Chains A and B, each alone.
Chain A
Amino acid sequence: MSTNPVNPVTPVNPVTQALTFEINGEPVTAAPQPGQVLRSLLRDLDHFEVKKGCDSGDCGACSVLLEGEPIHSCIYPASRLEGAHVTTVAGLGTPEHPHPLQQSFVDAAGFQCGFCTAGMIVTASTLTENDKADLPRLMKGNLCRCTGYRSIKDAICGVSNTDRPADGASAGSSVRAPAGLRVATGTEPYTLDVTATGLLHLAVLGSPHPHARIVSIDTSAALALDGVHAVLTHRDSPATLFSTGRHEHRTDDPDDSLVLDPVLRFRGQRVAAVVAETVAIAQRALRSIVVEYEVLPAVFDADLARSPGSPLLHGEKSAAESRISAPERNTIAQLHGEMGDVDAALAAADEVVSGTWNTQRVSHASLETHATRGWLDKDGRLVLRTSSQVPYLVRDELCHIFGLDTERVRVFTARVGGGFGGKQELLTEDLVTLAVLATGQAVQYEFTREDEFTIAPTRHPVRLNVTVGATADGTLTALAVDELMDAGAYGNHSIGVMFHGVSESLSIYRCANKRVDAESVYTNNLPSGAFRGYGLGQVVFAVESAMDELARKLGIDPFEFRRRNSIVPGDPIVVTDPHEESDLLYGSYGLDQCLDLAEAALLRGNGASAPEGWPVGTGMAMAMIASLPPRGHFAETTIELLPTGRYSISVGTAEFGNGTTTVHAQLAATALNTTADRMHIHQSDTDVVGYDTGAFGSAGVVVAGKALYSGARLLAARMVERAASLGFAGGSVVPEGVRVGERVIAASTLLENGPLLAAGRHDGTPRSIAFNVHAFRVAVNPASGEVRILQSIQSADAGTVLNPEQLRGQIEGGTAQAIGSSLYEEMTLDGEGRVLTKAFRNYRVPQMADIPDTEVYFASTHDDLGPLGAKSMSEAPYNPVAPALANAIRDALGLRPQELPMSRDRLWRMVERARASTIRRA
């Protein structure tokens, strides 16, 4: 038994002092709390343009000017502000009169989610012309998770990458993001960027143990504190089991979680929540909660966890009811399948490669942390404003957990500051719901950056054994994968990630004999979840590494080896079961072009030379991805003509930097022969359309976009019909209305006989496949383990390219995130479930200096299934990067790295050990 230490804080009135200073030239008087920082004071004063990305001075999203000098406002004591002059991004310019840099960020498409943009612009505004040669150093205090920095460098240097297309010519051109100037001037509101009165704040007491049962919990002292409105524990929790992972079918994920559970299965899991008038009061009150724990045995290694005798995490649950494959051995999901005879094929093969690959735990590191604000509207309906990729799925699951009717709940998002899969989870909304229902008041729960590292789900760490065999002529004859995934304490996404991970990574190969053994296993580590690529990246890393080694042994060029063994139209798309029912089709096929494009670019080179004495190598890898998730992804959209000739669009899917809003406007503008800036888009709100499965699985363009495009075409036809009914037959839609001969029937005239609108719907089936090939030329310093990327190339088969600059940005951003996972990023745990890397300063999200420019090439294909021939391309660019880099490093060093990240210390050690063993042999 253990009891947490009680540390009640003697209430002493804080010493506050009224200060007078200026914000953007306006005098302000405020009395900050003694320990308050400038960032939170500015936001208290409704200066929401100042963002919180880390609250520790690492990311730069909160940058402001103080007396003209840039500082990080999140680490600047507000007590020093008397007489100060503070300038935020909103003080530099407005949407009507933007600062040249603000315009430049829009013109260059220098942002995706835009959460870092305010800080980027403030910092860049202090640079001189000479400084532009030194950007990586000067901008190292500003992190961007979306873009890969190339477009930010362009923005700072005044390079424009966008255009203003003519009427009806929107699709296929590099249209600017509709929110551009608002993002660049700090006026686009994100999740918490809105004033509220009487708002309560929620703070969570996390479990100090990796596995424990709450024996008793006394909240009376906390509840008695001034400003505390409620303390919620497992006694207040609904008894309905659910999963934080959200999918179209709620049965896709195991029901293994409670809003507040008396059993704690990882460090930091919610024990209790305090609802109070300020965050500080709530956080302090947590210390007054007295908890007695029964500490339970815990397991932290996935292989041990599935072995006999291991402590069980969910052993008490019903396998059938909770949909856990084998709770008696901590196994959430398993897949064992074989086609042909792998062992026989290996025995007959001329060359065989076998090895073990490991991938690490990675944080999404969206700059906007998870956050939800909830309240009851005047009709008593629950409203949640939240940072989510899936507002409809969140609404539906909350209704399931709390027994509410869907009409009684509205969930919506403002612009979301990055997702990458991390916001396909229900992490804050359930507690806010509980707190709003308990208090009747508005409640906000905002994750800290430390929360993001310690309790938000991460990318799955995976161990993969891969064996591949081929005949001397280069025919792949055997492919076997054995995968073990550390799911952490809860099973959110661990089923889907496992099945998806071994899917397109293997079905891309035409091979008569394949075997898969995959298991996803509970441990008392923090949960793993959905991450860009959804399991593919880990498996692609291992399989593409093994294929590279196999090609090497066979003496065949790696591009050529892929050409011989990858599927081509007509081949079945099969993992191990040729009879599996699938809606996956060759809507188009561009892998051949992707291989050619990347190979040609690599041969062409780019003139970059290696430092003296560093060996150079090249490497490539390929990846395939289905254009959206299986078994249904639904979108409903509406589009309506406005009297001004503009259009009002309603879509359910969310914008978090994926750029779907831009593409939606382009698709509608193309169908209606107008320009994208005439589209008003209402989105990601359960009140605006009937339903949308959500923004995941790269579905924003191919599902919601396709639905919208068909709705817009229908509306165009209806406008022409309406004109005909007014006596003007044979017309066509133009920006002002309908043109018939020389005459234009204005939108306002068309609308005199009633509204004109159309709905579009798509059910996400059948699905197509898309391809990416990445190639690198690198130099490696064997003496230090440093990798210098001399050339980075990615070719993509995205079907019709709807917005070239945005697509390039997605590919660069995916590449940058993958370079982070490949070389730098690593969440380290202490072996007992304690996360050691709890801040950006200890977790290397790539800085500008770490990311080379990537040459991006598009295959020329037209997809039969996607809107205007387009395919999705937002997760996919991430997947081939790590193995391409590993293969290039292998080529340079003659040694193969098989563990991510391929950090300098690991590569150095690999070289040192090889040298030591050579010396021993000699």
Chain B
Amino acid sequence: MDLIDVREIRVPTTRNEVRFAPGEIPLGGGTWLFSEPQPGVFGLVDLTALGWEPITITDDALIVSATCTIAELLRLPAQEGWVAQPLFAQCVNSLLASFKIWNVATVGGNICTSLPAGALISLAASLDATAVIWYAGPSGERRMPVSQFVLASRTNELAPGEVLRSIEFPLDHLRSRTGFRRIALNELGRTGTLVIARLDETGEVVFTITGGTTRPRQLRFDALPSATQLAAAVGSITEWFTDAHGSADWRAGQSARFAEELRIELGGTS
């Protein structure tokens, strides 16, 4: 929809120009920003002309720029040994947004919108990816796990003036075995809860719960837990919430069920 308070859209081409006046906010793809009224937003700083390489693969990481579109991420060809790569499509298909939105929406935009159902948050958190954040100003950056970047629905770690620069996925974790479960109140609806389990070559097991909780929650075990251990860990989560996409008790119940199913899938005994 038209944003009636916006008086200017600036399109920086260098980091120096990435500055925010009061009332100015960053613009990624815009698919969320333009989907709701934004009272008090007087200016947008369009990050998509900065020339950030969408996808880079280094010796130890897959680096996805914040401005990489979801469609571009999905087009990444299957890489040898990345057994976790099916998660990309599984998570993207968990978005309520259709493939048409993926052509414009960005990975960074989905993460910075910080909705519980942000499926790119699920993806990045479950693989213990790192968020690279540019400080306000011409230089400097800080890094933190994506799983800790989102603090609550629509709330994240970005301070005023900071922008999310990229997401770094450790290649080690892309080589891990993973399992995926997800449910919504309708077949392809907005996520009610989404559980991803990851079994690393080191034997470490990480369950990541998103969608059903107000922020990503991770349960870590040195080895596959017993059913009782896992149930206790899921039971310790307090961030379940009720909204139009499911009640808190159902979200908790489904997450526990999924976690247990994934435990078995990854070789746990019943």
The verdict on B141 contacting chain A, using a C-beta distance below 8 Å, is no
Q: Which of A28-75 contact B (CB under 8 A)?
A: 33-37, 40, 55-58, 60, 63, 66, 69-72, 74-75
| Interface size classification for chain A | 35 or more
Q: Which of B26-59 contact A (CB under 8 A)?
A: 27, 30-36, 42-44, 46, 48
Q: Are A847 and B188 in contact (CB under 8 A)?
A: yes
Question: Interface residues of B: mostly helix, strand, loop or mixed?
Answer: loop
Instruction: Report B102 CB to chain A, min CB distance, Å.
Output: 10
Contacts of B42 in A (CB 8 A): 12
Docked CA distance A63–B246 (Å): 29
Instruction: Report A588 CB to chain B, min CB distance, Å.
Output: 38
Q: Are A75 and B35 in contact (CB under 8 A)?
A: yes
Binary flags per residue of B1-39, CB closer than 8 Å to A gives 1, else 0: 111111111010000000000000001001111111000
> Of B6, B8, B9, B101, which is in contact with the most chain A CB atoms at under 10 Å from its CB?
B9
Instruction: Report A228 CB to chain B, min CB distance, Å.
Output: 14
Q: Are B186 and A844 in contact (CB under 8 A)?
A: yes
Q: Are A136 and B34 in contact (CB under 8 A)?
A: no
Docked CA distance A307–B93 (Å): 50
Instruction: Report A11 CB to chain B, min CB distance, Å.
Output: 10
Q: Are B257 and A783 in contact (CB under 8 A)?
A: yes
Q: Are A842 and B187 in contact (CB under 8 A)?
A: no
Evaluate whether A842 and B8 lie within 8 angstroms (CB atoms) in the complex, with A37-B2, A909-B250 already known. no
Contacts of B82 in A (CB 8 A): none
Q: Are A69 and B3 in contact (CB under 8 A)?
A: no
Q: Are B103 and A40 in contact (CB under 8 A)?
A: no
Q: Which of A269-311 contact B (CB under 8 A)?
A: 279-280, 283-284
The verdict on A823 contacting chain B, using a C-beta distance below 8 Å, is yes
Instruction: Report B186 CB to chain A, min CB distance, Å.
Output: 5
The verdict on B232 contacting chain A, using a C-beta distance below 8 Å, is no
Evaluate whether A847 and B186 lie within 8 angstroms (CB atoms) in the complex, with A34-B7, A71-B100, A905-B250 already known. yes
Q: Are B186 and A905 in contact (CB under 8 A)?
A: no
Considering the complex, give the chain A residue whose CB is closest to the CB of B93.
A137
Contacts of A33 in B (CB 8 A): 2, 6
The verdict on B97 contacting chain A, using a C-beta distance below 8 Å, is yes
Q: Are A140 and B98 in contact (CB under 8 A)?
A: yes
Contacts of A14 in B (CB 8 A): 6-8
Binary flags per residue of A517-552, CB closer than 8 Å to B gives 1, else 0: 000000000000000000000000000000000000
Q: Are A63 and B186 in contact (CB under 8 A)?
A: no
The verdict on A349 contacting chain B, using a C-beta distance below 8 Å, is no
Instruction: Report B248 CB to chain A, min CB distance, Å.
Output: 9
Binary flags per residue of A851-880, CB closer than 8 Å to B gives 1, else 0: 000000000000000000000000000000
Q: Which of A129-148 contact B (CB under 8 A)?
A: 136-142
Evaluate whether A904 and B9 lie within 8 angstroms (CB atoms) in the complex, with A33-B2, A75-B35 already known. no
Contacts of A70 in B (CB 8 A): 99-100, 103
Contacts of B186 in A (CB 8 A): 823-824, 844, 846-847, 849-850
Instruction: Report A222 CB to chain B, min CB distance, Å.
Output: 15
Considering the complex, give the chain B residue whose CB is closest to the CB of A55.
B1
Considering the complex, give the chain A residue whose CB is closest to the CB of B41.
A35
> Of A57, A138, A826, which is in contact with the most chain B CB atoms at under 10 Å from its CB?
A57
Evaluate whether A905 and B2 lie within 8 angstroms (CB atoms) in the complex, with A57-B35, A70-B103 already known. no
Docked CA distance A9–B253 (Å): 48
> Of B6, B11, B246, which is in contact with the most chain A CB atoms at under 10 Å from its CB?
B6
Q: Are A784 and B257 in contact (CB under 8 A)?
A: yes
Q: Are A34 and B187 in contact (CB under 8 A)?
A: no
Contact residue among B27, B93, B103 (Cβ-Cβ distance under 8 Å from A69): B103
Docked CA distance A140–B46 (Å): 28
The verdict on B185 contacting chain A, using a C-beta distance below 8 Å, is yes
Contacts of A75 in B (CB 8 A): 1, 30-35, 101, 104
Contacts of A1 in B (CB 8 A): none
> Of B1, B32, B44, which is in contact with the most chain A CB atoms at under 10 Å from its CB?
B1
Q: Are B254 and A784 in contact (CB under 8 A)?
A: yes
Considering the complex, give the chain A residue whose CB is closest to the CB of B1.
A55
Contacts of B103 in A (CB 8 A): 66, 69-71
Binary flags per residue of B163-192, CB closer than 8 Å to A gives 1, else 0: 000000000000000000001011111101
The verdict on B156 contacting chain A, using a C-beta distance below 8 Å, is no
Q: Are A36 and B2 in contact (CB under 8 A)?
A: yes
Contacts of B104 in A (CB 8 A): 71-72, 75-76
Q: Are A15 and B7 in contact (CB under 8 A)?
A: yes
Q: Are A836 and B244 in contact (CB under 8 A)?
A: yes
The verdict on B247 contacting chain A, using a C-beta distance below 8 Å, is yes
Shortest 5 CB-CB distances between A and B: which pairs?
A141-B98, A35-B6, A35-B3, A905-B250, A280-B4
Given contacts A12-B42, A75-B32, A841-B96, 14 further A-B contacts (CB under 8 A): A57-B31, A57-B101, A63-B100, A77-B44, A79-B9, A138-B98, A139-B98, A784-B183, A824-B189, A841-B35, A842-B190, A844-B189, A849-B188, A850-B186
Q: Hey, which bits of chain B sit against chain A, CB under 8 A?
A: 1-9, 11, 27, 30-36, 42-44, 46, 48, 71, 93, 96-101, 103-104, 183, 185-190, 192, 243-247, 249-250, 253-254, 257
Q: Hey, which bits of chain A sit against chain B, CB under 8 A?
A: 9, 12-15, 33-37, 40, 55-58, 60, 63, 66, 69-72, 74-77, 79-80, 123, 136-142, 279-280, 283-284, 448, 783-786, 823-824, 826, 828, 836-837, 839, 841-844, 846-847, 849-850, 903-905, 908-909, 912
15 CB contacts below 8 A, A to B, read A14-B8, A37-B34, A56-B36, A57-B97, A70-B100, A72-B31, A76-B30, A784-B254, A784-B257, A826-B244, A842-B244, A844-B186, A847-B189, A903-B185, A905-B250
